[in-house]
Structure 1
Amino acid sequence: MELEDFFELEISGDGMTAALKQKQLKDYENDITEEQLAEFLKLHGIVFGIKPGIAGRLNEGPVSEKLLVAKGRPAVNGRDAAMQLVVKAPARKDVLNDSNSSVNFRDIIEIPSVQQGDTVAVKIEKTPGADGTDVYGREVTAREGRDFKLRPGKNTKVSRDSLRLIALSAGQPSTGNKTVHVYPVYEVHGDVSMKVGNIDFVGNVTINGGVPSGYSVKAKGDIRISGPVEGAEISAGGSVYISRGIVAQNKGFIKAGVDIFTSFINQAEAEAGGDIYVTQSILHSNISAGGFVRCIKGRGNIVGGSISAGKGIEMNEAGNSMNTPTTFFIGAGKNTFEKEKFYEEKLKKSAEELEKLHLLLDKLTEKEEKGAAGAKDRIMILRIRSTIEKASREYEESREELGELAEVSHNGTEGFLTVHKTIYPNSAIQFGKYRCKINSLHQHLIFKLEAGEIRFESVT
């Protein structure tokens, strides 16, 4: 009996699964043996991950659906190196992602201080990956975790073992990119008003009230606002925390170098270099995040406007029963390309500066070795070495940033859009140049880009 007469083999594009599909629904003259099945699979190159007992299942009767006969062992990528805060960090991402937990915005506003000499963050080192094997027996190479260097922040230094960040002065911590800053605090006891005026501070800003329309609050570190924000301009080098939401009436903007945390966003424009976490709703707003946008607490609905995220978007409801147009963009956006251009130019300038400095240093060092260098020359040598150290650090930082941005630009297939409850008609989803429009109501879905096509599957 030739199994080719009864079955055809379907192998996934990545070579990780093989399934049998019956050509004609009729009984075989003799039972199929495990040896016959193994030989049939071997003729098609399938030698790994073959499931036991398949021959017995085929002998029970015709197979009306595809039957999985082999499954590869997927590669497990290594864990990337990461920075972990040592000081207690309110509103941690795992808390905000846990649907069973509640967010206490008082904890978000009240950030503990650190003292000089305190360790404020530690580096969690990368791990190697575990290679896999596809059904053909071919090795599937895993990606090793990406590394990075801790960077000294404002009023912090890197320890000698390069694994800790230590505070150089007392103050409040503010998380930056691969570093932590320690800033002084400017505090407003109540609402921002004419008496207070616009705020532009080199540290952290805490406002124990709201920010009305027309005002501006800028900070090098974090901004924490316990009251509501209206059509104001809020700009932080670190993160922005707003406990009573944003009602902007299409005025002003919210911009954070790191993350934005708030209860709701209504008719506003918000941009974060990292993630945006909203506990209730995002309504008729233009939102952009370099990382994730998550709105999964309470109703967790996003209605109207444009939502863009470099890595993924997660919500309970997308759109509404009135079919309000709502657009979602996943992957590299305008901000990513602008950052790439910025760091490419910075990398080029750092390389050129290093080349000139090394040439100058070589000349002065040669002069010193000949005994012709004076006091001014020796001082210049020290200054050049210090400048080279700074330029080298900027060069490495730019190179790391470009590497991470390239991940977003070229590996957008890893992005996702998850709807835990309902996605309504007239919602549009776009992964780069690929776009799909939702024309009917769906529930519990995750959307991904695979092989140049937007696909979806059920999510529980």
Structure 2
Amino acid sequence: MDLNNNTVDNRNQLEEFDNEEKELLKYKISHLVSANRLKLYIRIDLINNESTVDYEDIMNYIKEQDVVYGIDEKEIIEYCNKMEFSKELVAASGLDPVDGKDAELIYDFDTSNENKLKEKEDGTIDFQNLNNVVNVKKGDVLCHIIPEKEGTDGIDIYANDVSYKIGKKVYFSNGKNTYISEDGLQLCSSVDGCAKIIGNKVVVEDVYTVDNVGNETGNIDFPGSVVINGDVKAGFSVKAKQDIKVRGLVEGAYIEAGGEVIIGKGMNGMGKGTIYAKGNITSKYIENASVESEKNIYSETLINSNAIANGSIILKGHNASIIGGTSNAKEMIYAPTIGSKANSETNLIIDLSNYKQNEDAINKVKNKKLDLKREYNNKVKELEDLEDKMKILINSSIENRNVLRKSLIFKKAKVNKDICEIAKELEEEIPIDNIANHKIICKGIMYVNTRISIGWLKYRVRQDISYSKIYNDGSDIVVVPLKSSDII
């Protein structure tokens, strides 16, 4: 046997076999599926660089992989036509899920805690009005929630649902004086006050506390109560819808309260300081200031000030005195010492408008009682007439006698009720206001040059008076010694 010939034949057979295999395997298709199964990537490896890939071949391959959704036939056709076999083909794309949107917490008040500096008309910065207190009213919305939104499921390339990501919820972190609305979407204030964030909680303070009022704080305008542990500097103002308590000194400032004002160390108004309160004003001393209370003013010393009280002005203490200025009250002025040895002019006024109003009210009540008395007599007469009719009806033979009798009984009951109500009103006492109750009490000395006005009458002290009560008796100013009942 010729071995060489055999070897040549074997090589020829092998080459013929390789050529047949190569003819069958023109290209190789593989694929990659994305981790979320929303993309199918096709890869073509050409065994013969001159080979082409048909659309049907790729489609058959895709079906063999059980891919049924999102097949991009147009892209596959274009891929085959352009013979872009060196590129990766995105043969199928699923439907992306639309994730839900996270809920949002929106604050409805300024949370920056920064001073809001404003310019005056002359271009300078207004350091008195810093606007660093965030005032809110009862029922105001402090923050609100925009709820999370639902998403939409996707579909993968195998036609399976792909769940969307659920949006995160948010919750209120609420503190004192707040409440959550019924729908759970709003956080509201339960009081008038100042909104702030302490820690992570939204709170409303109904008492605003500061150390001092000055350049650090600017003016204060607060819907609740204000507590000042130190002083109020000249030129600044403090306003509160409720009470104001100052533990230190008030200089030439403006104080206004819907409730009471209490000043621990007193007030030196420097000729421009002012206090107005709907409640009582209590201050250790008041000097060179204007103060007005819808109720009473209490102090130890009132010096060169204008004081107006809808009630009384009462000074108590070892050296309590009114010196200079004008003190005007509607009920009583009470002080151990009034005026001074230096004969400084001191004006005292008792405004009798409250007395006149009471007098008018009493006259109205008297007139009403006269009307009630007439109505009472008429009702008694009406009751007597009804009783006479019932007596007549009892002895009559009228067919509907029982019906008429019932009607008369109902009328009698109503008239009796009216008589009882009128009698009750007639028993009510008429309030009596004695003009002598509107008075000036001097527990010590009232010095010369004190000028007094009580209603329409005036009186000037021409020599010192001591331990006296002064009032208008309706025709003259009367000065009488004090009784123990006059001392408070």
TM-score by length of 1: 0.43
TM-score in terms of structure 2 length? 0.41
